[in-house]
Structure 1
Amino acid sequence: MSCYFQVGDRDLWNPSNSVATLFLDQAEAFSRLVGHSSGLGPIVEDECQVDVARFQKFTGLLVKRYQDSNNRTLRSLTEGFIVVSLVLVQRAGGEVEEIEQGYAEMWTALREAQDRAMPDD
């Protein structure tokens, strides 16, 4: 079984149900960390709707938190989630403006590598 992360009827990502559930659980925890809802809806009939504007803002806040922190553990715990989120934002046609120049190359390389590993159909 799998779950479709969608904007309307457009598929952004089609992970297994276990990966989708883990990602949503992480989003819930990270939304508390940054004080902003994730913009990810619940899984209903194997579909999860993405509110692009809210998700983009949420991802930006998490990127900013990462970039402003010198805590290696926080960075380790958030990096993978951020990279998957950056792929989803890009696939939805959005852009995370909070990426600082000094981190742009890193985030781009990580996002591009992750994009190839994330099925969207």
Structure 2
Amino acid sequence: MSYYFEVSGETVWDPSLRIGKWYLSFAEAAAELVQRPTGLTPSDDDTCTVNVQVFRQFVDGLLECYASTRHPVQHGLMRGVLLTSLVILERGGVVIAPKSEREASLLGEVEIFARSM
């Protein structure tokens, strides 16, 4: 069984049901910490609509938080939700340009990470 993430009616990611729910949980927790809504709207039919404009602001907040520190534990904790979010955003038609060397390094991993999604 899959969990479909959709942008404008097009599926951008279809992980297993369990992985989809894990991601949603992590994203909601991260949204609280960066104080931005996710732009993700889950429904009862195992789909999640992604509002790209709101989701981009959420991902920007994650990137700013990630780039604001060198703390390895914070980076480790954020990495999964951030890379997954960047792939979803890119598949939704939005590519983010890095604002710093730290962001550029992380964004360089998106293509490789996307292969496993």
TM-score range, shorter chain: over 0.9
- Runs of 4+ more than 2 Å apart: none
Q: Secondary structure at the match of 1:44?
A: coil
**What are the residue-to-residue correspondences of 1:56-67 with 2, within 5 Å?**
56-67=56-67
Q: Per-residue deviation at 1:46?
A: 1.7
Closer, same or farther in 2 for the Cα pair 1:80/1:101, shift >3 Å?
Answer: same
Deviation string, structure 1 residues 58-88 (Cα, Å, up to 9, x no partner): 0011011010012221111001211111101
Q: What are the residue-to-residue correspondences of 1:42-53 with 2, within 5 Å? A: 42-53=42-53
Rounded Cα–Cα distance in structure 1 between residues aligned with 2:18 and 2:113: 18
Separation in 2, partners of 1:108, 1:66: 12
Matches within 5 A, 1:27-42: 27-42=27-42
Unaligned runs of 5+ in 2: none
Which TM-score applies when normalising by structure 1?
0.89
The higher-RCO structure (CA 8 Å, 6+ apart) is 1
Query: Equivalent residue for 2:113?
Result: 114
Normalising by structure 2, what TM-score? 0.92
- Tell me the CA shift for residue 108 of structure 1: 3.1
Structure 2: how far apart are the matches of 1:107 and 1:74?
14
Aligned residues: 117
Code of the aligned partner of 2:63: V
2:23, 2:103 → 1: CA distance? Answer: 23
